């Protein structure tokens, strides 16, 4: 639960100067300072967190799902991360920090930076692994990380700021993106009238990456899982559907159907 692992890697969200991390405060050369929370995370949000940021209850539900129904998804992310041989890994939209923790277990010499717009998530990720530095930060406003300081960015069911990911990645760095396939949780979405998937998401992903990244690996994980009523409730409660409040009374067979893509950052020609 230490920010020390990110020494020299973080930048001030106001002036982009390198942050020096002390035991109680992080400070940049321009004098901007940020208090280190007693739970070990650093809040670098420019203002209050968004109203729709993940709550502590959502994160509790997600933690249970990742430890059970989504265990194979966590393992897939860890394998994909290990294949890159990264030494500095950022999980943008890290949530509970479990995906990043698994990646670091597969990369014993690496350190990780967990970023999330939710303060509750930053608090939780701070204790997910001893080699994680946890930061409250807004992906859309740009990660508070120095240019070219990162070997791998992971973005798992989370918002993507592709241009900023390219900025923080070293030349030939990697990007791992996990997205749902059309069949993911299909029956659950139908049963409870949950938010539907964007049918154009793959096309939008590839368009956003154009000229910045090249696809080098693509793995699909598709299998059914039997979920208890409590697990079904957790799956609904762990994401945007939590704000819709659907009561769950029965167990259900769910479809896990996701794709994990690994990209390499393209180096611009001079």
Question: Rounded to an integer, what is the distance from CA 99 to the centroid of its chain?
Answer: 8
**Residue 189, domain member (yes or no):** no
Residue 239's pLDDT is 82
**Residue 252, domain member (yes or no):** no
Question: Rounded to an integer, what is the distance from CA 60 to the centroid of its chain?
Answer: 16
The packing angle between helices 71-84 and 56-66, to 10°, is: 80
Tokens matching residue 75: 């393992």
**Residue 95, domain member (yes or no):** yes
Tell me whether residue 207 is exposed, middle or buried, using C-beta atoms within 10 angstroms of its C-beta: 0 to 12, 13 to 18, 19 or more. Answer: exposed
**Residue 201, domain member (yes or no):** yes
Q: Where are the alpha helices (DSSP H) in 148-258?
A: 162-168, 186-192, 201-209, 229-237
Residue 261's pLDDT is 97
Residue 196's pLDDT is 74
Residue 242's pLDDT is 62
Residue 25's pLDDT is 94
Residue 241's pLDDT is 72
**Residue 60, domain member (yes or no):** yes
Three-class SS state of 181: coil
CA distance 57 to 53: 11
**pLDDT tens per residue across span 80-97:** 999 999 999 999 999 999
Which residues span the domain enclosing 92? Answer: 3-180+195-220+259-265
Q: How many domains does the chain have?
A: 1
Side-chain-side CA neighbours of residue 252 (13 Å): 22
Three-class SS state of 212: coil
User: Can you list the positions of beta strands (E) in 69-168?
Assistant: 88-92, 111-116, 132-136, 150-156
**Residue 227, domain member (yes or no):** no
User: pLDDT below 70 — which residues of the chain?
Assistant: 1, 195, 242-246, 269-270
43: closest CA among 130, 147, 114, 127?
114
**Residue 243, domain member (yes or no):** no
Q: What is the CATH number of the domain that holds 73?
A: 3.40.50.150
């Amino acid at each position: 639960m230490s920010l020390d692992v990110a020494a020299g890697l973080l930048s001030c969200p106001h002036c982009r100067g390198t942050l020096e991390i002390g035991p109680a405060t992080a400070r940049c050369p321009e004098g901007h300072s940020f208090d280190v929370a007693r739970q070990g995370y650093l809040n670098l949000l420019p203002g209050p967190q968004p109203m729709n940021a993940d709550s502590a209850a959502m994160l509790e539900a997600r933690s249970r799902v990742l430890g059970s129904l989504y265990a194979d998804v966590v393992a897939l992310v860890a394998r994909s991360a290990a294949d890159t041989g990264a030494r500095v890994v950022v999980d943008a939209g890290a949530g509970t920090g479990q995906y990043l923790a698994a990646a670091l277990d597969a990369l014993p010499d690496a350190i990780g930076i967990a970023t999330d717009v939710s303060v509750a998530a930053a608090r939780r990720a701070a204790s997910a692994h001893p080699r994680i530095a946890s930061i409250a930060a807004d992906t859309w406003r740009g990660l508070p990380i120095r240019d070219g300081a990162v070997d791998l960015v992971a973005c798992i069911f989370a918002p993507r700021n592709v241009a900023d990911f390219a900025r923080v990645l070293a030349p030939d760095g990697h990007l791992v993106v996990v997205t749902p396939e059309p069949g993911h949780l299909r029956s659950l979405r139908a049963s409870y009238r949950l938010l539907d998937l964007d049918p154009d998401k793959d096309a939008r992903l590839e368009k956003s990456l154009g000229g910045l990244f090249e696809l080098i690996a693509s793995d699909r994980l598709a299998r059914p899982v039997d979920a208890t009523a409590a697990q079904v409730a957790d799956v609904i409660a762990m994401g945007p559907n939590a704000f819709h409040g659907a009561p769950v009374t029965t167990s259900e067979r769910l479809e896990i159907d996701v794709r994990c893509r690994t990209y390499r950052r393209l180096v611009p020609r001079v």
